[in-house]
Structures are given as C-alpha cells and as structure tokens.
Amino acid sequence: MARTSHDTWWKNAVFYQIYPLSFCDSDGDSYGDLRGVISKLDYLAGALGVDALWLSPFYQSPMKDWGYDISDHTDVDPLMGDLDTARELIEEAHSKGLRVIVDYVINHTSDQHPWFLESRSSRTSPKRDWYVWRDGRDGNPPNNWVSVFSGPSWSYDQESRQWYRHTYLRDQPDLNWRNPEVVEAMFDVARFWLDMGVDGFRVDAAHQMMKDPQERDNPPAPPDYPRPYKNMGEYDDFIHLYDFSHPDVHEIHRRLRAVTDAYERDVLTVGEIHIFDLPEWASYYGEDFDQLNMPFNFHLMTAEWNVPSLRAVIEAVLWNVPVGGWTNWTLGNHDEVRLATRLPDGHERLAALLLLTIRGTPFLYYGDELGMRQVAVDRDQARDPWGHNVSWLSRDGARTPMHWSDEPNAGFGPAGATTWLPIAPDYIKLNVETELGNADSTLNLYRRLIALRKAHPALRVGSFLSHPSSSGDVFAYRRESDSETMTVVLNFAEEERTIDVGRGELVFSTADPERQDRIGGAVALGPREGVVIEHV
C-alpha cells in the first residue's frame, strides 16, 4: 500500500541515531546499555527535541562486529540489558512522544547463531542451505569476491570441507535468502520486534543479500576507476558487478514491505543502500512504492564541501526520488569519520542548517549535536575489526562515548567507571551540560534548528527549489508549503556577502541567536553565516 500523505510521522520527524554501546553506561561495566538510553530520553525528547530514535544493534552477539554479528535476534545482549529493558525503553520513549526504529540485520548472522552452528554441523544438516556453502575451485575459494572488510568473502570449513560466503567478517556468514525458510524465519524476527512496538527498521546492508546466482568473478577495477567517496582498501580493487544488488533483491523488499504493511500503524523501513548510481539507488522504492519506504541517502557524504558540489548532489538526489517518494539526509553515522572532523574549520553551523532545512527527513548521529570530533584511537585500544590491519579504515574514532558532562568519564558512566573506547580530551568543553549553559554552543544551535523545523511546515514538507541568487560560494534555496514560503541562505565564503532574496523576516541566524531583521530585499550575511527568511 503506497502511503504518500505528508502527515506521515517519519516525513515530519528528526531522527537521532544511538549507538547503544557508546551512549550511556548505567551499570559501570564500561559499555553503554539500554537502561542508560532510558535515562537520557528526557534529553532527547525534551532538551534536544528530536522525534525518533534509531537504535543500532543491542541483540545477543559475540561482539565481533559490535552487535552487527547477531547470535540471537530476539534477545538482548547482557552487555546492554535484557528484553524487559528493551520493552521498557520502547514504552518510555513512546510515552515521551519519541518513535523508535531498530536495526534489522538481514544479510548475515553471527557464526555463533544456532542456525549457523546447525548449518555448519554437516553437509546433510537440515539447515545446510540456510547459508551459502560451495565447493572451491582447485582448493581455492569459489570465486574472486572480496569481503567489504577486505580478504576473500569465502572461508573454508575444515570439518565439512566446503566454503561459506561472508560479505563482511568470517564471523558473519551470509544467510541464503534464496531459501524460503530463511525468508520466513527472518520475517518472523521482524514481526517479533513489531509486536513489541517498534515503529520500524533501519535495514542493514539492504542491497547485499541477493548476488549473482551464477557467482561470476568480479572484473578488476582499472586504476582510474571512480570510487564513491571513501577508500575501502582491497574492496576497491574490483568492479562490484556481481556481488550485490542482483535484481532479485527487489522481490525480497516487496515481501518485507508486505510484512510491515500488515501492521495497522505506519511502520518505517529505511534501508542501508550503499549505491551511488542514483537510478539504481532509487529503484529500492519500488515502482509502486512497494519496497523500502526510503533507501538511506548517503549522497551528501559524497559531495565536496563547497556550494557547486553540494547543490549538484542535492538537486540530483531530489530529482531522482520518484514523484510521490520521500528521501532523507545524513551527514554521519557509526561507519563514517565524524562530521566535525570531515568539515573545513568553522563550517559546522552551516552543515547543521543545511541538514535540517533541505527537503527530506534528517538523521543526526549521536554527539554531532555537540560537535564531537573523530578520536585517534591507539592500536592497543582498538575495537573495530575493520582496520585492525589498516588503521585508517577503523571506525572506532566515530564511536567514542557520548559526552554528557565535564566529569572525569564525561558522565558516560558512574563515577570511577572506565569506558570501552577512549574519551576525547575535548569533552571538558564539548559536553551536554556545559553546552546547554552556553547560548552560543553547537548544541543550542541544533536545539534552535530542530525547534524552527518543528514550527514551520515549509521546512519539513515544503517544496525545494534552488534560488537564482545562489553563486559560487552562496547557496540559497526556497522551501514552500501551502501556507508558508521560506528561503534558506548559506554563505560559505570567509567574508561578507549580500544577496537578493525578496522581502521577509529573518527568523534564524547561525551566527547570532538574537538576530531578527526585517529584510527589504537584500540580506547581508557574515562569513560562514547561514540564515532563514520567512516571506510574509
């Protein structure tokens, strides 16, 4: 059933991603937990004012990939709590007006999952075909596919003398989605969490589970082959023609959509589609809007941080979203280098304004509202399996504990508790408590922006059109709803700029919370200032 109404909750929401291991540690074991998240719901719903949470995995896991290797989909890992706490978290969040979506990791399980243990036990196991087992080629893997985390995506099982496929770690065997029993078992997992009350899913690696049935070798990439935006090590040595996004993947998404649409309430699926060819990316909506509600939109992260590049990316995405579809935007997550570190100095405020005023649902990553930066994590403190051998691949630096206060462990856990990843030294300045008390802080900028978005339908669901006054270093765009017209102007220059936007009231400035001028036509912006004008 296509739902295209603008009232839909997730079109109007600001999302906030929580990486539970790093958010708040309630019991002092050094890892964040669900009870910790519960204790911060007032911050999220109240002080910050977001509408929805995305929780990264908290399910039972050997923690080889920090929860993205699941050994029991319907239980909570003891590091993070138990099922009752998960239920309480969902209920408490709802009672404060927050929706909750959870990670749904469908491409693979942990190698410790009972399904895989059974599958691995013998070639004749009834679950053998639940995973992808193959004979090798003359003692070598069945083909040349490499794992996203480097190295072959096949590992050999000595006992049963076959290879199994893993798109990620060898501890994360790929499920065989061509087996109908797997499909049903995984849909039951989705129903379990929907029955508990979650409002939807962030579908992990949602383009990965269907690959070429003939399992052909990927061609090697020529040296000048374009890379999306980040260096992926050995994975970049190939053109990935055959090892993701086989057309059959769309049938799985249609069936998943039927599962979520069977619920009375409006359930959201937002899928991690790491595809940068826009028409292919957009195909995940489905021709009749019968697949994902939204493919996750990472395109902003591929843009260079300048007006022509950002404008081109934003327009290209918006023009490629099928009419009647809805997109989302993000500038950070647990797999990327922290936003504040990627940006040129002094551009954080422009980034926040852009993210919260383009047409589409914004997803914020925990800590970005404080300006948290990437932390250089020493090798002996490293946790991420990706990057153990190539440190620049490591994602640890973007997953360090949230800064709540200027207490010794940044208020992440009880006094004296250690933390699973190191805390950035700048937590003394960049923390919730301190920033709440400083009108000019990054946190207060985010709070003001979220409130502005909430107050103005034009900023949430209005149309988007780049303004003709845009130039090489000033980006202006108009947002227009039935009742309002607003213009957003971002000055990327290191000096003042004045541009013509028409008459209106200036209702927001990144530079000065007090600024409120009447605009007669031309608006003057300070260096790196962004403003919002309401046309009355």
Q: Which of 51, 65, 77, 111 binds ligand GLC (CB under 6 A)?
A: 65
The answer to the question of residue 166 lying near ligand GLC (CB under 6 A) is no
Quick one: which H or E segment has residue 46? none
The whole-angstrom separation of Cα 20 and Cα 515 is 37
Minimum distance of ligand GLC from residue 506's CB (angstroms): 39
The whole-angstrom separation of Cα 403 and Cα 420 is 14
Quick one: which H or E segment has residue 518? strand 518-519
> Quick one: 171 or 348, whose CB is closer to ligand GLC?
171
Quick one: which H or E segment has residue 306? none
Residues 385-444 that bind ligand GLC (CB under 6 A): none
Closest residue by Cα to residue 74 from 115, 125, 129: 115
Whether 272 is a known active-site residue: answer: yes
Catalytic residue, chosen from 25, 204, 529, 534, is 204
- The answer to whether the beta carbons of residues 255 and 182 sit under 8 Å apart is no
Catalytic residue, chosen from 272, 368, 435, 534, is 272
Largest CA distance in the chain: 78
- DSSP-assigned letter for residue 529: -
The answer to the question of residue 270 lying near ligand GLC (CB under 6 A) is no
- Site size toward ligand GLC (CB under 6 A) is 9
- DSSP-assigned letter for residue 216: P
The answer to the question of residue 33 lying near ligand GLC (CB under 6 A) is no
Residues 444-473 that bind ligand GLC (CB under 6 A): none
- DSSP-assigned letter for residue 175: B
The whole-angstrom separation of Cα 154 and Cα 144 is 9
> Quick one: 386 or 427, whose CB is closer to ligand GLC?
386
Q: Which two tokens stand for residue 303?
A: 């843009």
Q: Which of 55, 105, 198, 270 binds ligand GLC (CB under 6 A)?
A: 105
> Quick one: 204 or 243, whose CB is closer to ligand GLC?
204
> Quick one: 39 or 391, whose CB is closer to ligand GLC?
391
The answer to the question of residue 301 lying near ligand GLC (CB under 6 A) is no
> Quick one: 206 or 458, whose CB is closer to ligand GLC?
206
Whether 204 is a known active-site residue: answer: yes
The whole-angstrom separation of Cα 239 and Cα 246 is 14
> Quick one: 35 or 240, whose CB is closer to ligand GLC?
240
Minimum distance of ligand GLC from residue 272's CB (angstroms): 6
Phi, psi of 34 (to 5 degrees): -65, -35
Quick one: which H or E segment has residue 268? strand 268-271
The whole-angstrom separation of Cα 57 and Cα 519 is 48
Q: Which two tokens stand for residue 153?
A: 């995506």
Match 């000033």 to its residue by tokens. 474
Q: Which two tokens stand for residue 494?
A: 């290191």
The answer to the question of residue 204 lying near ligand GLC (CB under 6 A) is yes
The answer to the question of residue 310 lying near ligand GLC (CB under 6 A) is no
The answer to the question of residue 205 lying near ligand GLC (CB under 6 A) is yes
Minimum distance of ligand GLC from residue 107's CB (angstroms): 7
The answer to the question of residue 334 lying near ligand GLC (CB under 6 A) is yes
How distant, in Å, are the alpha carbons of 9, 64, 401 from that of 291? Answer: 18, 30, 35
> Quick one: 68 or 201, whose CB is closer to ligand GLC?
68
The answer to the question of residue 68 lying near ligand GLC (CB under 6 A) is yes
Q: Which of 16, 115, 163, 168 binds ligand GLC (CB under 6 A)?
A: 168
How distant, in Å, are the alpha carbons of 184, 314, 450, 509, 534 from that of 531? Answer: 50, 19, 14, 4, 10
Go through 495-513 and write b for each residue having 16 or more CB atoms within 10 A of its CB, e for each that does not: eebebebbebebbbbbbee
Q: Which of 92, 335, 406, 505 binds ligand GLC (CB under 6 A)?
A: 335
Q: Which residues bind ligand GLC (CB under 6 A)?
A: 65, 68, 105, 168, 204-205, 272, 334-335
The residues annotated as belonging to the active site are: 204, 272
